[in-house]
Structure 1
Amino acid sequence: MDWNETGELVRRARAGDPAAWRALVDRYSRLLYAIARSYGLGGADIDDVVQTTWLRLVERLPRLRDPARAGAWLAVTARRESQAVLRRRGRERPLTGHTPTVTGPHHAVFGRELAGSVAAALDTVPPRCRALLELSIASPRLSYAEISTALGVPLGSVGPTRTRCLLHLRRRLGVA
């Protein structure tokens, strides 16, 4: 399946084509299960995350701006749903390593400015790079195989493409 085929499947699913829905579910369900598992969820919680993620796609399908990026959208949604399950269960795990502490308003302003700069720089990278970077950032626990499946690119190209995309982004941010 090539990069643009996901977009075509989404367009057909919008039109009510059950074969397109089956193809989307076949293509992305393993990824969604892997994301939920990566949050330490099990059994029914994983099933709930996957089912809710598909429900969110059904709800937003008519308004999905870029059908070709549906895989990245599903991955981000599964991550958010997994976090929501953890919050509801009161089991959200703290981040490991050093977590910076906000000590004043200047830190909040700097953080917003940095986020804005990164978002603006992401807007300048090619669409495939943007999708790969968004997926990598949104779900850092995904394997290259899962990213390959989500984006419909060869497994061996994920690492080198990611490296080139990060270099492009760093140049745009002036940190390369």
Structure 2
Amino acid sequence: MPQPIEVEQLVEAARDGDSAAWNALVDRYLPLVTAVIRRLRLSPADADDVNQTVWLRLVEHLDGLREPRALPGWLATTARHEGLRVIKRRARDLPTDPAGHTFDTAEVFDMGESLEEDLRAAALREAMGELSEKHRELLLMLLVDPPLSYDDISARLGIPRGSIGPTRARALAQLRRSRALRDWADNTPVREGGAFDVFLD
């Protein structure tokens, strides 16, 4: 079975005007863009507009994309920003009641924040998948509520109690270097209280 072409190669070819490479990029990442837009619950017409705008933005910025491997994060972020821009524009057009009050739009903006949290959590899950099984199990055990003692963790993982701290440090260092979190950090600001803060504070 042929190996999939790396995103860096596709981006480079698309920059050179290769329409097949461009089509391959769209085919590969259209499901991602569609999923982000769907979470915003836009009308079909608005969803189509946002989808088209995302790919137009990519055409405009393809030459300036510093890290082609970060393209998935860039597309997800752009789709979210464009979708929220449409939501905010629609919110400004909301009707008012006879007393002169606008309808509550808090849910609209919370939905965007929820999407960002979901995307961060997805990136974190992907990053955890890049860890060795031992490192992944250790980090997950350190998150158990109520917390496990180091003695319990030592017994469950079969490692010396004194090695838990150094192993945790190595696991966190590997997590910070993971491709999934690196791609996200390159394209999206991390808000305090998000899924990453559990590991990366």
TM-score normalised by the chain length of structure 1? 0.57
Q: One-letter code of the match for 1:52?
A: T
Deviation string 1:91-141 (CA, Å, 9 cap, x unpaired) is 751427xxxxxxxxxxxxxxxxxxxxxxxx99x921503246559x78xxx
| Equivalence map 1:53-132=2 (5 Å) | 53-90=54-91, 93-95=108-110, 125-131=176-182
Corresponding residue number in structure 2 for 1:37: 38
Give the C-alpha shift of residue 72 in structure 1.
1.1
Give the C-alpha shift of residue 6 in structure 1.
1.0
The 1-side partners of 2:88 and 2:56 are apart by 20
Corresponding residue number in structure 1 for 2:130: none
Q: Unaligned stretches of 5+ in structure 2?
A: 95-104, 112-171, 190-194
Corresponding residue number in structure 1 for 2:126: none
Give the C-alpha shift of residue 31 in structure 1.
1.5
CA contact (8 A) 2:15 2:62 kept: yes
The 2-side partners of 1:5 and 1:130 are apart by 18
Deviation string 1:21-76 (CA, Å, 9 cap, x unpaired) is 00011111122112111001121111111110001111111110001111111011
- 4+ residue runs over 3 A deviation: 131-135
Distance 1:61 1:85, change over 3 A: same
Tell which has more relative contact order, 1 or 2 (C-alpha 8 A, sep 6+).
1
The 1-side partners of 2:18 and 2:70 are apart by 19
The 1-side partners of 2:180 and 2:28 are apart by 21
CA contact (8 A) 2:73 2:184 kept: no
Give the C-alpha shift of residue 7 in structure 1.
1.3
| Sequence identity (%) | 41
Corresponding residue number in structure 2 for 1:117: none
TM-score normalised by the chain length of structure 2? 0.50
The 2-side partners of 1:84 and 1:56 are apart by 14
Give the C-alpha shift of residue 16 in structure 1.
0.4
Q: Unaligned stretches of 5+ in structure 1?
A: 97-120, 139-162
Secondary structure at the counterpart of residue 95 of structure 1: helix
Higher-Rg structure is: 2
